[in-house]
A = this chain, B = another copy of it.
Amino acid sequence: MSVRRSSVEALLASQELDREVLVKGWVRTRRGNKYVQFIAVNDGSTINNLQVVADAEKFPEETLKDVATGACVAVRGTLVASQGKGQSVEIQASEIEVLGKADPETYPLQKKGHSLEFLREIAHLRPRTNTFGAVLRLRHALAFAVHQYFNDRGFFYVHTPIITGSDAEGAGQMFRVTTLPDQNPPLNEQGQVDYKEDFFGKATNLTVSGQLEGEVAAMALGKVYTFGPTFRAENSNTARHLAEFWMIEPEMAFYELEDNMGLAEDFLKYLVRYALEKCPADLQFLNDQYDKELLGRLQFIIDNDFQRLTYTEAVEILKSAKQKFEFPVDWGTDLQSEHERYLVEKHFEKPVILTNYPKDIKAFYMKLDEDGRTVRAMDVLFPGIGEIIGGSQREENLEKLQQRMQEMHVPEEELWWYLDLRRFGSAPHSGFGLGFERLVLFVTGMANIRDVIPFPRFPKNAEF
C-alpha cells in the first residue's frame, strides 16, 4: 500500500470518509473487550487523539500486547464516522505495526496523572503528556506570533550577542564564559586572572539583555526587535525565576513613551488573541485541567483598554487603599507584586501601564523627565502575575546620559559605542522587554515557570 501518512490533526478535521489512511503516533491508551479494542493514538499535531478500532477477530488481545501506553505504532485502515462519543471520526484498523515498544513495567508515563514535580524530573518524556503537549504547542504559537507581528509591521529581527564583554547592562548577576584552565589560570602582574589570555582576550559573560545592542540596530534600521536567550546567575529557587530564559526586546527610533505604550498594548493583545484563535483545544484543556479562570483572564486582556497612569498617581491610590499590604508603599520605593495586582485586579479591574517611575529605582538609560526626579519608564501590569513588560523611552541626550551613568557608576569606557549612538545622529527612541516565559506562563495559566520551557535551568539543575 502506498497511501501517504496523515497527521492526527488532519484526519480529525477530515470530511473525506471511507478512505484508506495511514497514521503514525504514540499510544496514549488501549482499552476494550474480547470483541473490540480501542486504541487512542496521538502524534503531537494536536491534543486530541485519534481512536483506532481493532476487531478482535483480526487483532486478538495477545497480538496487541505491545500496543501499550507509550508505544509507537503505524496504523493502516479506513477512516470512518465514529459511533462512539467524543470524536467524529475513527480508524477501522486493517494493519497495526509496532515501531517502538514501551514496556509497561518500566515506562514512566502510564495513564494516570503525574505530578508536575515528577514530570520535571523526566523532562525528556513530559512533552508526551497532554499538559506539556499543550504548553509546547502554545509556546510555539506565541513565538511565531511574535515574529509575525513584527514582520508585518516593518520591524527587523536582530540577533544580539549572547557572549558579551560588557557587564554594564546592569540587569543582574552574570555567568562567566571562559576557556581558561579551571585550575591555575594565567595571572597578570597584579596577581589577578589574566583574561587577556582567555578566548576573547577579555573577561566575558552571558548576556542579561540585548537592549543596548538593539538600540544600535534601531538607530540604523528604525524598528527592530530581539528574541533570544538571556541569563541571570541569581540563586533564586522560585516558581518565577529561571537562570536561562528568552526575551523579546523591540526598540524603535522616533518612538516616544506614548508610542511605546501603544505598541506594548497592541502587541500583547495580538499575542493573546492569536493564542485564542490558533490553539483553542489546548487552551480549553488547560482551562479545564488547571485553571478555570484562564480563558476569562485571556479575554479580559483583549476586552479592556489598558489603564495608563503615573507611578506617582499609583502610589497615591495604594496609600489610600483599604487593603492591608505586606510591604508598605511610599514614593520612591519599588512596587511589589501585591501592589501591582491590587491596581489591576481590584482598583481598575483592567490591565495597567504605570509610567514615570522615580529615577533611582530604574536603569541608567531611561530618559529623564523634566522634573529631574522621574524617568520615562513604563511597566505593563497583568492580573495574576504583575509586571509582564518593562520598558522606557531612552535618554537620547549625550550629556544627560553621561551624567546618569556617572551617578549610577556605569563605566563609560565599556559603553563607548553606546554613547556614540548619542554622539552621531541621535534620535528619540524607545523600547521594552517582554520575558517570553512570563508570557507563556500567563497564556497557559501554568503556575511554575519551569513548566513552560522545555528544559528549565535553575540553581543545581542543568539536566538534559
From known contacts A44-B221, A147-B147, infer whether A424 and B100 are also in contact, taking CB-CB under 8 Å: yes
Cα–Cα distance between A72 and B425 once the two chains are bound (Å) = 4
User: Which of A156, A243, A460 counts the most B-chain CB atoms under 10 A from its CB?
Assistant: A156
The 5 closest A-B pairs by CB, nearest first: A100-B426, A127-B220, A44-B221, A200-B462, A124-B417
Question: Which residue of B26, B217, B428 contacts A425 across the interface (Cβ within 8 Å)?
Answer: B26
Give the residues from 376 to 426 in chain A that come closer than 8 angstroms, CB to CB, to chain B.
Answer: 396, 417-418, 420-426
* Segment at the B interface, from A177-185, A292-300, A311-319, A348-356: A177-185
Cα–Cα distance between A45 and B124 once the two chains are bound (Å) = 43
Cα–Cα distance between A59 and B455 once the two chains are bound (Å) = 61
C-beta contact mask, A225-237 vs B, less than 8 Å → 1, else 0?
0001101010100
Residues of B within 8 A of A35 (CB): none
Count this chain's copies in the assembly.
2
Give chain B nearest CB distance to A49 CB in angstroms.
13
Question: Which residue of B5, B143, B178, B219 contacts A157 across the interface (Cβ within 8 Å)?
Answer: B143
C-beta contact mask, A82-97 vs B, less than 8 Å → 1, else 0?
0000000000000000
From known contacts A156-B137, A222-B7, infer whether A422 and B229 are also in contact, taking CB-CB under 8 Å: no
Cα–Cα distance between A425 and B28 once the two chains are bound (Å) = 11
C-beta contact mask, A103-134 vs B, less than 8 Å → 1, else 0?
10011010000000000001111011000110
In the complex, the answer to whether B229 meets A107 with C-beta atoms within 8 Å is: no
In the complex, the answer to whether A165 meets B463 with C-beta atoms within 8 Å is: yes
Nearest residue (CB) in B for A182 is: B193
In the complex, the answer to whether B140 meets A144 with C-beta atoms within 8 Å is: no
A453 at the interface (CB under 8 A from B): yes
C-beta contact mask, A33-55 vs B, less than 8 Å → 1, else 0?
00000000001110000000000
In the complex, the answer to whether B454 meets A164 with C-beta atoms within 8 Å is: no
Nearest residue (CB) in B for A107 is: B424
Cα–Cα distance between A186 and B161 once the two chains are bound (Å) = 30
C-beta contact mask, A4-40 vs B, less than 8 Å → 1, else 0?
0101010000000000000011110000000000000
A373 at the interface (CB under 8 A from B): no
Cα–Cα distance between A428 and B99 once the two chains are bound (Å) = 8
In the complex, the answer to whether A199 meets B459 with C-beta atoms within 8 Å is: yes
From known contacts A213-B454, A216-B127, infer whether A244 and B193 are also in contact, taking CB-CB under 8 Å: no
Nearest residue (CB) in B for A453 is: B159
Residues of B within 8 A of A164 (CB): 462
C-beta contact mask, A421-464 vs B, less than 8 Å → 1, else 0?
11111111000000000000000000000000111010111111
Residues of B within 8 A of A64 (CB): none
From known contacts A44-B220, A185-B183, A457-B163, infer whether A396 and B128 are also in contact, taking CB-CB under 8 Å: no
From known contacts A161-B457, A462-B161, infer whether A24 and B427 are also in contact, taking CB-CB under 8 Å: yes
In the complex, the answer to whether B179 meets A244 with C-beta atoms within 8 Å is: no
Nearest residue (CB) in B for A176 is: B178
Question: Which residue of B127, B222, B231 contacts A43 across the interface (Cβ within 8 Å)?
Answer: B222
Question: Which residue of B122, B132, B165, B455 contacts A161 across the interface (Cβ within 8 Å)?
Answer: B455
A-B CB contact pairs (8 Å), 16 listed: A24-B254, A26-B425, A44-B156, A45-B222, A72-B427, A102-B425, A125-B220, A133-B221, A136-B221, A159-B246, A162-B231, A166-B464, A178-B182, A182-B193, A200-B460, A228-B228
A263 at the interface (CB under 8 A from B): no
Give chain B nearest CB distance to A431 CB in angstroms.
15
Question: Which residue of B26, B109, B460 contacts A201 across the interface (Cβ within 8 Å)?
Answer: B460
From known contacts A178-B178, A246-B159, A426-B99, infer whether A127 and B460 are also in contact, taking CB-CB under 8 Å: no
In the complex, the answer to whether B162 meets A162 with C-beta atoms within 8 Å is: yes
C-beta contact mask, A171-197 vs B, less than 8 Å → 1, else 0?
001011111101101010000110000
